[in-house]
Structure 1
Amino acid sequence: MKKYVVCDIGGSSIKYGLLDEEHHFLDKGKIDTPKSLGELYQALTSIYQHYEDVAGVALSMPGAIDPERGYTYTSGALGYYNNTEFVKELSAYIPVPITIGNDAKCAANAEVGYGALKDVDDAYVIVLGTGIGGCLVMNHKVVPGKHFASGEVSNLITDYHDPKNMKELWAMRCGIYGLLKHVQEALGEEVELSGIEIFDRANNGDEKV
């Protein structure tokens, strides 16, 4: 049975796993997201080399992405793989087929194929994380869009009085940075917490959080 390395590259961490052909996880793990493209390639290579007899690698990641070409036009909150022949460059380190896709569109494909949208023709999928991902589903298919950015909402302006203020974009107000700002205000201190730490505190009964 073939095995595949699957990774979700987020703003704060890379969640990865080893998956078999029947979609069963054989292993799971998580590492911090690197701060540069070279370090990202190294991290993904290390994850791949951790396992034996891997038939392919699949990556979910932020940005406007052409899955057929393996090209990243933008890189979302990460910002360091704009206009990059991502699959071609990563293939120099990982000698098996590699597939990449926008994270929100990957999430939508998963829901259409195996989850909440199995029996739904038209839908809109929102992914809340470091930023905010969006994806349109029409006629039971994910719509990539002419520029691979159909349904994206991170850059929606939330204050028409100040349209050039990047802090007022929806991703900044309602992604991790906006969440952290509200937590800091509630706690009355400039704490630096990750999304995981914030939710851990809330789940453990921290009423202020």
Structure 2
Amino acid sequence: MAYLVFDAGGTFTKYALMNEKTDILERGKFITPDYTSGTKEAFICMISDVIEGYKDRIEGIAISMPGMLDSDAGYCVTAGYLAYLCGTALAEILCEKYKFPVTIENDGKCAALAEFWKGSLRGCTNGAVLVLGSGVGGGLIIDKKLYKGRRQTAGEFSYVAVEEEQKYELDGYWGMKSGFQGFAKRVAFYTGEDWEKYDGRQLFERAMSGDEKVLKGLKDFTDSLALQVCNLNMLLDLDVVAVGGGISCQPLLHEYLEKSIDEYMENHPMRFLSPYIPRPVVTNCKFYNDANLIGALYHFLNKKGGAV
């Protein structure tokens, strides 16, 4: 059996023909209609063009996309950068048009499902996936199930306030602090350069070459990230926290994050008052660019009773 799986992002929408073993048989992408000028009709038209080419070869359609989604009803309560899809019963529209089962799920939650199914969270009871991108995405696995909450908002890490003095500004939230923008701004604090001109590969090349100012920015960044990882671990007593996303591909990030966590735990003011303050177990995500595709497929198969 084969399935058509989409990962709708703010810039590109990726798609793949996949089997139930997660093998990617074919893949492609198209430019996602811009969130400022795009329309629901334009998005559905582009996704339909892809479906037309595969409709004789597939058993169903799975979609990963941003936003707060009612995945049981296939309804977009919000849609992140794809704001034109807010209030759209996307799964129902496509299901009625093509007579295939169609599912949708939030992209960060798809990443968590992928890691739980076949990746770094496999076998865990409680775990978290943090996706460090333009913001902080991800999801929570609690009691071996994806935890979404009553309003589908559990695991929306970007919305967590981390700076009391900046609680009315975007920079006071976890999505800005621990996304790429937060890293770039910390480096720019030391270099005096324009943070908007940075890209991740460039910054890590400079860090690997020993640029002290970039390394100071990286240390500030991982210190902040470590604090939130430890908070999350204390709140939920997690077996493992898997970190993914673009900049997480860099081994230096994980090296610095582990050092930041060690430093925080060693200097925790309550370490002498509590017999045991758990140190979080942090690892890399197994799946990076394909995580959302794999998780969307898992959601589809699980909903249809076929996931293994």
TM-score (norm 2): 0.57
Equivalent of residue 47 in structure 2, options 41, 44, 47: 44
What is residue 105 of structure 1 aligned with on the other side? 109
Give the CA deviation at 1:158.
2.7
What is residue 20 of structure 1 aligned with on the other side? 19
8 Å contact from structure 1 (residues 108, 135) kept in 2: yes
What is residue 10 of structure 2 aligned with on the other side? 11
What is residue 135 of structure 1 aligned with on the other side? 139
Paired positions, count: 203
Identity of aligned residues (%): 31
Contiguous gaps of at least 5 residues in structure 2: 215-308
CA distance in 1, matches of 2:120, 2:28: 25
Q: For the structure 1 residues 165 and 28, does the alpha-carbon distance in structure 2 shift closer, same or farther, using more than 3 Å as the test? A: same
Q: For the structure 1 residues 53 and 32, does the alpha-carbon distance in structure 2 shift closer, same or farther, using more than 3 Å as the test? A: same
Q: What amino acid maps onto 1:98 in structure 2?
A: V
What is residue 117 of structure 1 aligned with on the other side? 121
Give the CA deviation at 1:102.
0.9
Query: Which contiguous aligned blocks of 4+ residues in structure 1 show a shift greater than 6 angstroms?
Result: none
More helix by share: 2
What is residue 188 of structure 1 aligned with on the other side? 193
C-alpha offsets along residues 144-177 of structure 1, whole Å, 9 cap, x if unaligned? 2111111221111232113121343222333344
More strand by share: 1
C-alpha offsets along residues 177-204 of structure 1, whole Å, 9 cap, x if unaligned? 44555677758357567xxxx344457x
8 Å contact from structure 1 (residues 77, 130) kept in 2: no
User: Any residues of structure 2 matched to 1:54-69 within 5 Å, and which?
Assistant: 54-69=58-73
Q: For the structure 1 residues 124 and 79, does the alpha-carbon distance in structure 2 shift closer, same or farther, using more than 3 Å as the test? A: same
What is residue 75 of structure 2 aligned with on the other side? 71
Q: For the structure 1 residues 200 and 41, does the alpha-carbon distance in structure 2 shift closer, same or farther, using more than 3 Å as the test? A: farther
Q: For the structure 1 residues 53 and 175, does the alpha-carbon distance in structure 2 shift closer, same or farther, using more than 3 Å as the test? A: same
Instruction: Give me the CA root mean square deviation.
Output: 2.7
Q: For the structure 1 residues 29 and 199, does the alpha-carbon distance in structure 2 shift closer, same or farther, using more than 3 Å as the test? A: farther
Q: For the structure 1 residues 183 and 108, does the alpha-carbon distance in structure 2 shift closer, same or farther, using more than 3 Å as the test? A: same
CA distance in 1, matches of 2:14, 2:186: 26
TM-score (norm 1): 0.81
Q: For the structure 1 residues 23 and 160, does the alpha-carbon distance in structure 2 shift closer, same or farther, using more than 3 Å as the test? A: same
CA distance in 2, matches of 1:50, 1:179: 41
8 Å contact from structure 2 (residues 180, 200) kept in 1: no
Please identify, of 130-139 and 60-69, the stretch whose mean Cα deviation from structure 2 is larger.
130-139
Please identify, of 160-169 and 113-122, the stretch whose mean Cα deviation from structure 2 is larger.
160-169
Give the CA deviation at 1:27.
1.2
Q: Which has the higher contact order (CA 8 A, sep 6+)?
A: 2
CA distance in 2, matches of 1:80, 1:167: 26
Give the CA deviation at 1:4.
1.0
Q: For the structure 1 residues 43 and 166, does the alpha-carbon distance in structure 2 shift closer, same or farther, using more than 3 Å as the test? A: same
The structure that has the greater radius of gyration is 2
Contiguous gaps of at least 5 residues in structure 1: none
What is residue 29 of structure 2 aligned with on the other side? 30
Secondary structure of 2:158's aligned partner: coil
Q: For the structure 1 residues 175 and 92, does the alpha-carbon distance in structure 2 shift closer, same or farther, using more than 3 Å as the test? A: farther
What is residue 285 of structure 2 aligned with on the other side? none
What is residue 161 of structure 1 aligned with on the other side? 165
Please identify, of 175-184 and 131-140, the stretch whose mean Cα deviation from structure 2 is larger.
175-184
